[in-house]
Chains A and B, each alone.
Chain A
């Protein structure tokens, strides 16, 4: 991967990328509010989260990456992939959050590069497949920008984990230094998740996720009287 691609990947993986990722906690706000998730358990939580939701999305990221090479045959499998991701996300708020981030990433990327396949997925498209999930768009973008596949998956995991830690900084007494240390120590788990997804992404039967408590937290999140996050 040349240095220009590397720099582009850094920007995509930057939590400051204006996609709205910082507005979503994906259920963590409720877990914190109910006292289930605390500072001293955050690192262990994220470690296991990476093995469940993180791994599932890494698989979708890879699947999208490989669709990027399909050329004219792209549209239908792209639509199927995104419908599949939606079906795997039972919680309305989290599903809509993922779609919202996907739409914003498409719009942003189209401002940065001329990418015809992304245009098919843009909010202005009349196609049904304008419903695009963030993990899928990230993977597709990686392919279209000719970024190394492994680096792309790692960047995705780094970006999403970083966003969750950032959300926790606003939800609990988690200082910047402590947050940085947790993020640093999670790198081996991110590597392992990326490695696991290399084995599982091609086999739909191997995709799995078990995160009932986080899903329940997302379902219960709208009932919070005051909240910082959309999801």
Chain B
């Protein structure tokens, strides 16, 4: 008698990355990688940084998957992390199991992390929980964005996911400077409400931080980013805004009816922020697919 195959109800994938500063050159070490999470190699960046592409060999996050990514950027290191494509969040499994992603990032003294992934695309019926903790040490820098799509638009899937929980905790020098905790259940709390997204479909957050700067520097950056936000905004299509955090950073928000406008705008914001804070050009990560 042939035994029935066991039905996989999700995998536990772990990825641990350490970026070390060795005489001005950032070196990637990978103490742990368990499928489906994987990195292949690090690409050198001008100025000594390292670029890494995060791969998910499953092609997306499947129902029941529990994924964990830990990134440590050590003092003085410069890391740029991107994805190889949009994160597809598949329908939850037959038992309604949610999938989850835990992100733990620590950025050491005078280190810099640029985390620039492609959008999350929650498919119809998806249940997904993502928790991100970011700790910045003294003088550490961060460019971190995240965009959430409404679903597979081309198939007419707009806000058909079951539940999307996204939380972010950002601390600088041990002090909490930003907390986001959202639980989106479009069937229960309509995202089309004016109190949430109205007719906009995509939303995005972009955190720009650097420890140790005077308050005036943030006020100036807020002003510059707000000017750019005004130029990028098109009433009824895309709205941008920027505001100082409690300390050590600025947050940029955007909502849009189309994803392309968000992607373009984020690059503009990044360029401006990088120039203002580091006097350097932002170099978009080259994609390998």
Contacts and interface: CB of A to CB of B under 8 A. Distances in A.
A and B pair up:
yes
Interface of A: 31, 34-37, 41, 44-49, 51-52, 83-84, 86-88, 90-93, 95, 205, 207-220, 222-223
Nearest to A210: B182
B130 to A, nearest CB: 13
29 contacts: A35-B235, A36-B194, A45-B194, A47-B195, A52-B189, A52-B195, A86-B246, A90-B178, A90-B251, A208-B182, A208-B183, A209-B182, A210-B182, A211-B196, A212-B196, A212-B197, A212-B203, A213-B239, A213-B255, A214-B195, A216-B239, A216-B240, A216-B253, A216-B255, A217-B241, A219-B242, A220-B233, A220-B239, A222-B226
A215 B195 contact: no
A127 to B, nearest CB: 16
A92 B196 contact: no
Contact of B230 (A31, A208, A215, A223): A223
B176 A87 contact: yes
A84 B195 contact: no
B200 interface: yes
A45 B176 contact: no
Contact of B253 (A44, A219, A223): A219
B198 interface: yes
Nearest to A51: B189
A51 to B, nearest CB: 6
A217 B195 CA distance: 11
A205 B181 contact: yes
A36 B109 CA distance: 44
A52 B184 CA distance: 11
B239 to A, nearest CB: 5
Given A51-B189, A212-B203, A216-B239, A90 B196 contact: no
Main secondary structure of the interface of B (DSSP, over half): strand
B23 to A, nearest CB: 37
Contact of B176 (A35, A84, A209, A216): A84
Contacts, number: 109
Contacts of A31: 194
A48 B251 CA distance: 24
Contact of B194 (A48, A51, A84): A48
Contacts of A84: 176, 179
A88 B178 CA distance: 6
B243 interface: yes
A210 B196 contact: yes
A95 B246 contact: yes
B194 A37 contact: yes
Given A83-B175, A213-B197, A219-B226, 13 more contacts: A36-B198, A49-B195, A52-B196, A90-B178, A210-B196, A212-B203, A212-B255, A213-B239, A217-B241, A219-B253, A220-B226, A220-B233, A223-B226
Interface in B156-201: 165, 167, 170, 175-184, 189-190, 193-198, 200
Contacts of B175: 83
B229 interface: yes
Contacts of B189: 48, 51-52, 210
B75 interface: no
B68 interface: no
A90 B183 CA distance: 17
Contacts of A37: 194
Contact of A213 (B178, B195, B229, B245): B195
Contacts of A48: 189-190, 193-196
Nearest to A216: B241
A208 B197 contact: no
Contacts of A92: 222, 243-244
A44 B194 contact: yes
Interface string B85-122: 00000000000000000000000000000000000000
Given A41-B194, A45-B194, A87 B179 contact: yes
Contacts of A218: 241, 243
A209 to B, nearest CB: 7
Interface in B222-280: 222, 226, 229-230, 233, 235, 239-246, 251, 253-255
A208 B222 CA distance: 26
